[in-house]
Amino acid sequence: MGLAGHGRGSDLGQVTRVIELLLIGIGSGNPDHLTGAAIRALNRADLVLIPEKGAGKADLADLRQGICGRFLTSGAKVVGFDLPVRDAATPGYLDRVNDWHDVIAGVWQTAITDNLGQHGTVALLIWGDPSLYDSSLRIAARLGHSVAVVPGITSLQLLTAAHAIPLNDLAAPFAVTTGRRLRETGLPAGIDTVVVMLDGDCSFSGLDPDGVSIWWGAYLGMPEQMLMAGPLAEVGPQIIAARAVARAAHGWIMDIYLLRRAPVHSPADH
């Protein structure tokens, strides 16, 4: 399932290793979230690639363009590219994602070759941090270029700051997972705090809400920011309704939430 010339295991990287890829974390898209290191890295680039996802996601590209307009002073070329849509016909979730990443890698390489040739520095602006539920590092690895990562503020940090809550209870672990995994496995055993990302289906609605609280946020750090918190049984339906309205109004939504269940105490605790 590799893309010829660009897929896993190809020797393309041996030809184009003079290209450096900069994966720059940009937080939620608020220009104030960029670190000094991110701004310096952006201005090292010869080419900045910005994904475009059609009319419904145009403002996501606009946010990246706005960051370039505010901070890019080096004269780097800024180029948009069409982000491929994942093929729902491919059986198996991992196979679908890997095939999709192969195609994206090919699109990246075509944009690099067409606009930069085989020498120079390319920047991609990554929501949040490239290490947390983002596939840019895996896609970049398919090309074999030199890669440098500039960390960014994550939506997890923005969520806990917006609600002024600690991420974990005292001396207690927490988990970070996806909506798909939450639907498949529920809340993990032995962990009372779970942060859920990449959930377009409000997967919390399938949980037993007894004793569970939720802290939810969308468009974090942006003028459109939305926050809700409280017992899951009470607040969950309100989040579902508000989320649907916001998505219809903006054409997209980025949200994240933290679930925390009250710990079960044994008689020895009393």
pLDDT in tens, 156-196: 999 999 999 999 999 999 999 999 999 999 999 999 999 99
- The tokens for 52 are 């475009």
pLDDT digits (tens, 9 = 90+) for 5-49: 444 444 444 444 589 999 999 998 899 999 999 999 999 999 999
Give the Cα separation of 11 and 230 in Å (integer).
53
Architecture of the domain defined by 156-269: 2-Layer Sandwich (3.30)
pLDDT digits (tens, 9 = 90+) for 8-19: 444 444 444 589
φ, ψ for residue 169, nearest 5 deg? -75, 165
The number of residues making up the chain comes to: 270
- Give yes or no for a contact between 167 and 174, defined as CB atoms under 8 angstroms apart: yes
3-class secondary-structure state, position 192 = coil
All structural domains of the chain with their residue ranges = 12-153, 156-269
pLDDT digits (tens, 9 = 90+) for 218-257: 999 999 999 999 999 999 999 999 999 999 998 889 999 9
Architecture of the domain defined by 12-153: 3-Layer(aba) Sandwich (3.40)
- Residue 164, by phi and psi: left (phi above 0), alpha (psi -120 to 50) or beta? left
Domains 12-153 and 156-269 share a fold: no
